[in-house]
Amino acid sequence: MSSELADKPLVVGSHTLKSRLITGTGKYATLELMQQCLAASASDVVTVAVRRERLVDASGRNILDFIDLSRITILPNTAGCFNVEDAVRVARLGREILRGLENPGADWVKLEVLADTRTL
């Protein structure tokens, strides 16, 4: 990618993103590590698996408290769904959660429908 393109904002519909990097919230050892990585990446968008993500951990901490919602758009995804019905239900759930947070990602979805757990 040319530096000219890399420096140009990415426009998706009515959204203008400074970064073209989309990060995720899964597989971090701790919520603090995830928070540090999101800050270091300067990503404007982070994916959250609505079905699989535990919004509250064993200590009662909410993953959303570790995401800078004033800066980051959450892209809800349907990871863990094995059929259309589940994917649509989870996408709608993600939309409602983000509408409640007034997060611009409420109108977005990263659609994932799996064939089996082996090829996840």
The model's pTM is 0.84
Q: Tell me if 81 is assigned to some domain.
A: yes
Query: Is residue 116 domain-resident?
Result: no
Count CB neighbours of 12 within 10 A: 10
What is the Cα–Cα distance from 79 to 87, expressed in whole angstroms?
Answer: 8
Kindly indicate the confidence band of residue 80, based on its pLDDT and cuts at 50, 70 and 90: confident
Catalytic residue positions? 110
Rounded Cα distance between 29 and 106, Å, is 27
The range of the structural domain enclosing residue 62 comes to 3-107
CATH of the domain at 76: 3.20.20.70
35-73 per-position pLDDT tens digit: 999 999 999 999 998 876 567 777 888 889 999 999 999
| Domain total of the chain | 1
Confidence of residue 117 (pLDDT cuts 50, 70, 90): confident
The pLDDT value given to residue 2:
63
| pLDDT (mean) for 89-117 | 92
